Amino acid sequence: MILTVTLNTALDVTYRVPRLVPHTSHRVAEVSERPGGKGINVARVLAALGHEVTATGFAGTGPAGTLLRGLLAEAPGVRDALLECGGDTRRTLAVVDAASGDTTQFNEAGPLITPGEWSAFLRRYDGLLRQADAVALCGSLPPGVPVNAYAVLVRGARSAGVPVLLDTGGEALRRGVAARPDMIKPNASELASLTGSREPLPATLDARRRGAHAVVSSLGPNGLLAATADGVWRAAPDRPLSGNPTGAGDSAVAGLLSALVEGLDWPERLSRAAALSAATVLAPAAGEFDPRAYERLLAAVRVVPE
């Protein structure tokens, strides 16, 4: 199975309003809630691709955590191996302006994780690694978790011989990269913050020198740029797409990891990741993907050596 780790799970709430006007009052006609946090999104896409997948990390025992786990239980194919924590799971709110389609996002910080809860998680993680073919470490760290958390988890995976992909930003990424994960998947802003450069190619190569065995940078409409031991490639659909980019990075992670587990080579991994990512942008609901659009896009993605 593939293991996804979401230390800072979230109950993702979406409010749809006719038009967002700051400093006024809005009636919210449509509210939707779904289990979230990057690793949870990755797990859902992996399950949709037919992979056996287990989601771990923390979930609170309060209202948001309880609802998250209830909704996760309804999602087909994702095994819930989340660990309970005393604080409640955070909520994230996306306010979608129906007029423009634009989204305004509010992200709560997450519960305070105690040292005891963190130790308990490390034991749970070690146990799950024994059954894992690959692991994805995804998203922000909740308060209380040590800032070198991802370095610890990367080293755990590497000593268990399990390929590990790290998808995070800021200091958590900087520390995690130094532990030499098999892959990282920074977006443009995470890449710039890691390397100090806003030029994708030099920054991607620099990120690799900092410790990651492979770096796959997700560059929005410009697709993916991968620096690996086997070569450097760009992967993107043959023409630009417009839609909702929410969750496109998580779909790319699911594409990379599933293709790795299936023994595909780098160009094939990148085709899949770019096609899944594009299918997510095209889907009407944020973070979903349309399997038929995915099949179609798989043929339309161009992977070009740099």
CA distance 221 to 248: 11
- In the complex with a second copy, the residue whose CB is nearer, 9 or 271, is 9
C-beta neighbour count of 147 within 10 angstroms: 13
Given the rule CB under 8 A, which residues bind a second copy?
A: 15, 17, 20-29, 31, 62-64, 66-67, 93, 95, 97, 100, 102-109
Q: CB atoms < 10 A from the CB of 27, how many?
A: 6
From the candidates 88, 167, 182, 250, which is the catalytic residue?
A: 250
List of residues 6+ apart from 274 with CB closer than 8 A:
223, 224, 235, 236, 237, 252, 255, 297, 301, 303
Residue 68 or residue 157: which is nearer to a second copy going by CB?
68
Q: Least Å distance between CB 166 and a second copy?
A: 21
Least gap, CB of 187 to a second copy (angstroms): 12
89 Cβ contact partners less than 8 Å away, ≥ 6 residues apart? 9, 10, 11, 58, 59, 60, 62, 64, 65, 68, 110, 111
Q: How far is the CB of 91 from a second copy (least distance, A)?
A: 8
> Nearest approach, Cβ of 143 to a second copy (angstroms)?
11
Smallest distance, Å, CB 62 to a second copy?
A: 8
- Residue closer to a second copy by CB (options 23, 292) is 23
State the Cα–Cα distance between residues 52 and 285, nearest whole angstrom: 24
Our CB check for a second copy shows the closer of 15 and 125 to be 15
User: In the annotation, is 206 catalytic?
Assistant: no
Q: Packing angle between helix 149-159 and helix 115-129, nearest 10 degrees?
A: 20
CB atoms within 10 A of CB 24: 7
- Of the pair 192, 261, the CB lying nearest a second copy is at 192
β-strand 78-85 against 2-6: which pairing, if any? Answer: unpaired
Residues in the chain: 306
Q: Supply the residues annotated as catalytic.
A: 250
